[in-house]
Amino acid sequence: MIGVRGEDEGIYDSVGDGMGIAESNTINLRYAYKFDNTEIGASLLSGDLEGSGCSVGDHNAYAVHLKSNIGKFGVMFEYTTYEYDLDDNSDSVVVGAYSFHDTIPAEATLYNLNLSYSKDVTFGPITNLTFYNDYNLMTDKSGSYEEDTMMNVTGVAISAGGIYAYVDYIMAKNQPFIAAPWPVILTKPTIV
């Protein structure tokens, strides 16, 4: 779901009537080259945006990535740039998922760096601990989004049979999902 805001809508409101936009004629390309324990690659997304049955602009995104494991150490890096080029020159767009809507810059550049270390253990049912640090930065945002958005997640993934639990310590700035002005500790158990 994509859209543009009406004059009286808040940044988390759903898109108003007639303001919805859909992706159409979109192409996604991805190329990856793997050697040893390393993968490098690039991705491209390009397509039209339609609203009320006619074209209202286009959208593009480009990315390069690296993923590598050296013994028990892991590293992942991704650089991404995207743009929603709307005919009305909007500096922001509405995106939504899981009954939640947010307003984001119409264009921005993102950087992601993840470092990890995996340690096999024998501690009751726990068989593995993977320690990680995931750093994300969003820059070069369009419109009134002048300040960069940053989020750093330090945590451990705990494996016990078919149960995986993540314990995260999150620090963020201008991140809409982490509204607290202080670091937050989250746990996310997952059963597979």
pTM of the model as a whole: 0.80
pLDDT digits (tens, 9 = 90+) for 97-142: 666 777 789 999 999 999 999 999 999 999 999 999 999 999 999 9
The 3-class secondary structure across 107-151, one letter per residue, is EEEEEEEEEEEEEEEEECCEEEEEEEEEEEEEECCCCCCCCCEEE
- pLDDT for the residue numbered 192: 47
Number of Cβ atoms within 10 Å of the Cβ of 59? 21
Angle at the Cα of 101 from the Cα atoms of 98 and 102, rounded to 5 degrees: 130
Alpha carbons 152 and 122: distance in angstroms, whole number: 29
Share of the chain above pLDDT 70, in %: 80
The answer on pLDDT for 10 being more than 80 is: no
Domain ranges of the chain: 2-191
Specify whether the CB–CB gap between 30 and 6 falls below 8 A.
no
